[in-house]
């Protein structure tokens, strides 16, 4: 039976068919939970979260696939807004698995008494702006109509699962699953012939774990990916004691660095050192594991093709060293895009898994998938009989969940229409023509290029300060001026063009979803510059925004 999203349990009865609020928050992941805390408990607003799932946690509620874990280290892949929370919560390891992160987010919901203002099992279907009342009217799939002064989307950059439309998919006699909508009860792969499509972060995390259980695993790979070992380890009590002592400094650092990690991107170029020293640096970072390989090695890896080539070549040499069959090793070696130009995965035993006798790799760039048959997958030159298919095919990133909501601004302007050629925002926070609608980690903000809790907290704080200022100064509405929005979109494109990000067909560009306009969506200018811009705009009385009393 095909997988269905795990919306288990009956809908609790809607509290009211209609209600009036200060703020509607859509989504109960990292962003929605913090937004509720900030708006309700700090600003004193009447705020309520609406969430499709039957639990809180967002990404960590939906992505229950084997091997799912964070790849920012736990002690900074977490909230910084409460010192008490920091001091009382202890992560088991550097890179905990999905259940532990979900438990953390549930703990946050309980600890701050958030649940009473979170309505689960409720999808927001539409939000329309009523200009005469200067309010939003929001509808849900439970027949409710909610009137709100502000709508804040916390719908997630990676929350709209992308299941490819392969002919025959629905006739497959076995089970199929998408990693981003994994069944709560889990999946038993014992004795099964499993096909896994996709070698992005999720596919790379899931492959070794599924291989250890399944009778046979066939990985269907279109684009080989560069991955660096995670080197997960338990956090010992003395390490915890130090982290807890240093938390303020760690958090401060995450707000100052390019990608929101508590370590610097070194300014040095890959060519400031000798070939031997460079190799030694890469060896050390490979042994240490994690994102530091990209962010803590050389400052020009994402700007200079030659510099990037040194890192790419190092990873390829590791693949050839680890994978015993030379043909498989070559298939796993990425050559068509620079390292880091796609979202870089980190892994536990990914490459070595291809030495297992029960694992095979199929190059679907060379021999594309033609159809899914009732028995399995047929490519141009072979047929693979399968019991289970896993789609690790990622998400309609950054705009997918926003555009699934029928959002209509001034004069009935549809967001889908406005964004037909790609998303347009001012600072990734607001869209011209959609007053009082705020988009947490919206396109045009650093979002997915940052350690995301840092990006989320910065956005929620900025929005919350903005609403507070509006109340103090008696403004009812805020929206970007069109020229400020145009200039921002131009700036976002300009800085992206100075990097190697355009060299890959990535989800950052929308290239993974057929028909999606290819526009570079996140802001690559880096966190320090972005924060500076956001602060300058606020200090100048919200420059580039139109405020109305
Ligand atoms: C497998 C995986 C691993 C990741 N690891 C990392 C990591 O290590 N480091 C990092 O920085 N980031 C990571 N990310 C990115 C991750 O998405 C963010 O870190 C963070 O969890 C995003 O939180 P959020 O609240 O913005 O969105 P989400 O967690 O995606 O939550 C959005 C919520 O909105 C709900 N929603 C959407 N539309 C509607 C609607 N119309 N009505 C009602 N509800 C709706 C969804 O159901 C969802 O629960 C990872 C992502 C994935 C998929």
pLDDT band at 267 (very low <50, low <70, confident <90, very high): confident
Q: How remote is the CA of residue 44 from the centroid of ligand 1, in Å?
A: 26
Distances (CA, A) of 543 to 467, 479, 538, 539: 15, 11, 7, 8
Q: Tell me the CA–centroid distance for residue 30 and ligand 1, in Å.
A: 7
What is each CA distance from 502 to 400, 445, 495, 507, 521, in whole angstroms? 20, 17, 11, 11, 11
Mutation test residue for ligand 1: of 6, 14, 24, 29, the one with most atoms within 8 Å of CB: 29
* Residues in Cβ contact with 438 at an 8 Å cutoff, skipping those fewer than 6 apart: 150, 151, 152, 153, 429, 430, 459, 463, 466
17-21, 237-241, 342-346: range with lowest mean pLDDT = 17-21
Structure tokens at 123: 């999808």
In the predicted model, is pLDDT for residue 188 greater than 80? Answer: yes
Q: Say if strands 118-119 and 193-197 run parallel, antiparallel, or are unpaired.
A: unpaired
Tell me, what's the pLDDT at 265? 73
For residue 68, the ligand 1 atom closest to its alpha carbon is: 1
Any idea which of 53-67, 200-214, 251-265, 363-377 has the lowest mean pLDDT? 251-265
CB atoms within 10 A of CB 68: 23
The pLDDT of residue 16 is 57
> What's the pLDDT score for residue 264?
77
Query: Atom 44, ligand 1: which residue's CA is nearest?
Result: 51
Per-residue pLDDT, 8: 34
Determine contact, residues 382/370, Cβ cutoff 8 Å: no
E strand intervals along 267-405: 346-347, 359-363, 369-372, 376-379, 383-385, 388-391
Pocket test for ligand 1, best of 97, 452, 463, 507 (most atoms within 8 A of CB): 452
Distance between CA atoms of 419 and 531, rounded to whole angstroms?
A: 25
HEC sequence for 411-467: HHCEHHHHCCCCCCCECCCECCCCCCEEECCCCCCCHHHCCHHHHHHHHHHHHHHHH
Give the tens place of pLDDT for each residue, 385-428.
999 999 999 999 999 999 999 999 999 999 999 999 999 999 99
Confidence category of residue 14, pLDDT binned at 50, 70, 90: very low
Nearest residue by C-alpha to atom 41 in ligand 1 = 124
- Closest ligand 1 atom, residue 455 Cα: 11
- Residue 468, judged by CB atoms within 10 A of its CB (0-12, 13-18, 19+), counts as middle
H or E element, residue 229: strand 228-229
Nearest CA among 159, 166, 178, 242 for reference residue 2 = 178
The protein residue whose alpha carbon is closest to atom 33 in ligand 1 is: 27
Question: What is the CB < 6 Å shell around ligand 1?
Answer: 26-32, 50-53, 58-59, 61, 63, 68, 70-72, 77, 123-124, 154-156, 158-159, 180, 202, 401, 405, 441, 451-452, 456
Q: What is the mean pLDDT of the chain?
A: 95
Closest ligand 1 atom to the C-alpha of 31?
25
Max Cα-Cα span within the chain: 69
Mode of pairing for the β-strands spanning 47-50 and 118-119: parallel
- The answer on pLDDT for 201 being more than 70 is yes
Helix (H) or strand (E) holding 146: strand 145-153
Top mutation candidate among 31, 156, 206 for ligand 1, by most atoms within 8 Å of CB: 156
Measured distance CA(202)–CA(217) in Å, rounded: 15
Please report the pLDDT score of residue 263 as a whole number: 85
Question: How confident is the model at residue 235, as a pLDDT?
Answer: 95
| Burial profile 500-509: b = 16 or more Cβ within 10 angstroms, e = fewer | bbbebbbbbb
422: left (phi over 0), alpha (psi -120 to 50) or beta: left
User: Atom 23 in ligand 1: which residue has the minimum CA distance?
Assistant: 30
Measuring CA to CA, which residue among 415, 400, 403 is closest to residue 510?
A: 400
Q: Is 150 left (phi over 0), alpha (psi -120 to 50) or beta?
A: beta
Residue minimizing CA distance to atom 19 of ligand 1: 452
pLDDT value for 266:
78
| Locus of tokens 């509620």 | 61
pLDDT of residue 6: 36
Kindly give the distance from the C-alpha atom of residue 59 to the centroid of ligand 1, in angstroms, as a whole number: 4
Confidence at residue 5, expressed as pLDDT on a 0 to 100 scale: 35
pTM over the 0.75 mark: yes
For the segment 457-475, the average pLDDT, to the nearest whole number, is 97
Strands 145-153 and 135-140: antiparallel
The mean pLDDT value for 296-306 works out to 93
Q: Please report the atom of ligand 1 found closest to the CA of residue 205.
A: 1
Q: Which of 190, 70, 130 is nearest to 451 (CA)?
A: 70
Higher per-residue pLDDT: 12 or 67: 67
Q: Which of 14, 27, 227 to mutate to test the pocket of ligand 1 (most atoms within 8 A of CB)?
A: 27
Pairing relation of β-strands 18-26 and 406-408?
unpaired
C-alpha distances out from residue 81 to 42, 281, 357, 452, Å: 11, 35, 48, 14
Q: What is the per-residue pLDDT for 11?
A: 43
User: Tell me, what's the pLDDT at 217?
Assistant: 98
Q: Per mean pLDDT, which range of 8-12, 102-106, 459-463 is the poorest?
A: 8-12
Pairing between strand 216-221 and 193-197? parallel
CA 31 / ligand 1 centre spacing (Å) = 8
Interval 351-362: pLDDT, tens = 999 999 999 999
Per-residue pLDDT reduced to its tens digit, 498-537:
999 999 999 999 999 999 999 999 999 999 999 999 999 9
- Tokens 């250890």: give the residue: 212
Q: At which residue do the structure tokens 């979803």 appear? A: 513
Ligand 1, atom nearest to 140 Cα: 42
For ligand 1, atom 37, the nearest C-alpha belongs to 155
Count CB-CB contacts under 10 A for residue 541: 10
CA 447 – ligand 1 centroid, Å: 11
122 alpha carbon to ligand 1 midpoint, in Å?
16
Q: How far apart are CA 163 and CA 165, in angstroms?
A: 6
Which ligand 1 atom lies nearest to the CA of residue 72?
8
Using CA positions, which residue lies closest to atom 12 of ligand 1?
Answer: 452
Cross-strand partners of 383: 378
Atom of ligand 1 nearest to the CA of 451: 11
The angle formed by the CA atoms of residues 120, 123 and 126, to the nearest 5 degrees, is 140
Burial class (CB in 10 A: 0-12, 13-18, 19+), 517: middle
Please choose, from the candidates 430, 517, 407, 512, the residue with its C-alpha nearest in 3D space to the C-alpha of residue 478.
430
DSSP letters, 19-88, are EEEEEEEE--SHHHHHHHIIIIIIS---EEEE-SSSSS-THHHH---TT-B-SS-TTTSS--S-HHHHHH
For residue 200, what are the contacts with CB-CB under 8 A and spacing of at least 6?
225, 342, 343, 345, 392, 393, 394, 507
Q: What is the pLDDT of residue 295?
A: 86
Question: Which one of 155, 201, 204 would you pick to mutate in the ligand 1 pocket, going by the greatest count of ligand atoms within 8 A of its CB?
Answer: 155
Residue of 14, 55, 58, 207 to mutate, ligand 1, most atoms within 8 A of C-beta? 58
């Amino acid at each position: 039976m095909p997988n269905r999203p795990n919306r288990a349990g009956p809908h609790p009865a809607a509290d009211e068919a209609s209600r009036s609020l200060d703020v509607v928050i859509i989504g109960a992941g990292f962003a929605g939970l913090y937004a509720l805390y900030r708006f309700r408990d700090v600003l004193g607003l009447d705020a309520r979260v609406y969430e499709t799932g039957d639990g809180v946690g967002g990404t960590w509620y939906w992505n229950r696939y084997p091997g799912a874990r964070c790849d920012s280290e736990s002690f900074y892949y977490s909230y910084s807004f409460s010192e008490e929370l920091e001091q009382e919560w202890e992560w088991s390891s550097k890179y905990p698995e999905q259940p532990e992160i979900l438990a953390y987010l549930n703990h946050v919901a309980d600890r701050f008494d958030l649940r009473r203002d979170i309505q689960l099992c409720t999808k927001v279907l539409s939000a329309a702006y009523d200009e005469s009342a200067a309010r939003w009217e929001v509808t849900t799939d439970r027949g409710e109509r909610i009137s709100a002064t502000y709508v804040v989307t916390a719908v997630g950059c990676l929350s709209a699962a992308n299941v490819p439309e392969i002919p025959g998919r629905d006739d497959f006699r076995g089970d199929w699953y998408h990693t981003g909508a994994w069944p709560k009860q889990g999946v038993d792969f014992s004795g099964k012939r499993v096909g896994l499509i996709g070698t992005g972060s999720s596919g790379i995390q899931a492959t070794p774990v599924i291989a250890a259980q399944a009778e046979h695993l066939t990985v269907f790979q279109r684009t080989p990916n560069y991955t660096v070992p995670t080197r997960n380890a338990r956090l010992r009590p003395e390490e915890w004691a130090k982290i807890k002592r240093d938390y303020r400094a760690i958090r401060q650092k995450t707000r100052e660095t390019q990608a929101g990690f508590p370590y610097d991107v070194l300014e040095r170029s890959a060519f400031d050192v000798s070939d031997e020293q460079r190799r030694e640096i890469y060896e050390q970072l490979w042994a240490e594991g994690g994102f530091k390989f990209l962010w803590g090695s050389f400052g020009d890896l994402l700007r200079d093709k030659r510099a990037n080539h040194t890192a790419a070549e190092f990873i390829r040499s590791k693949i050839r060293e680890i994978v015993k069959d030379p043909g498989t090793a070559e298939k796993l070696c990425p050559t068509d895009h620079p390292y880091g130009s796609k979202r870089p995965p980190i892994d536990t035993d990914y490459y070595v898994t291809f030495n297992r006798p029960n694992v095979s790799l199929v190059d679907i760039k060379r021999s594309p998938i033609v159809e899914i048959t009732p028995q399995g997958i047929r490519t141009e030159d072979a047929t693979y009989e399968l019991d289970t298919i896993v789609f690790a095919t990622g998400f309609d990133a950054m705009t997918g969940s926003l555009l699934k909501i029928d959002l209509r601004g001034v004069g009935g302007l549809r967001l889908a229409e406005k964004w037909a050629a790609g998303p347009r925002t001012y600072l990734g926070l607001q869209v011209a023509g959609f007053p009082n609608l705020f988009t947490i980690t919206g396109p045009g903000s650093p979002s997915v290029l940052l350690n995301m809790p840092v990006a989320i907290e910065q956005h929620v704080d900025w929005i919350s300060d903005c609403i507070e200022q509006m109340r103090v100064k008696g403004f009812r509405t805020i929206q970007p001026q069109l020229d400020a929005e145009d200039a921002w979109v131009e700036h976002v494109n300009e800085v992206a063009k100075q990097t190697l990000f355009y060299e890959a067909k990535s989800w950052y560009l929308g290239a993974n979803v057929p028909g999606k306009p290819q526009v570079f969506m996140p802001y690559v200018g880096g966190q320090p510059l972005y924060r500076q811009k956001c602060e300058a705009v606020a200090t100048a009385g919200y420059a580039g925004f139109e405020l109305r009393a």
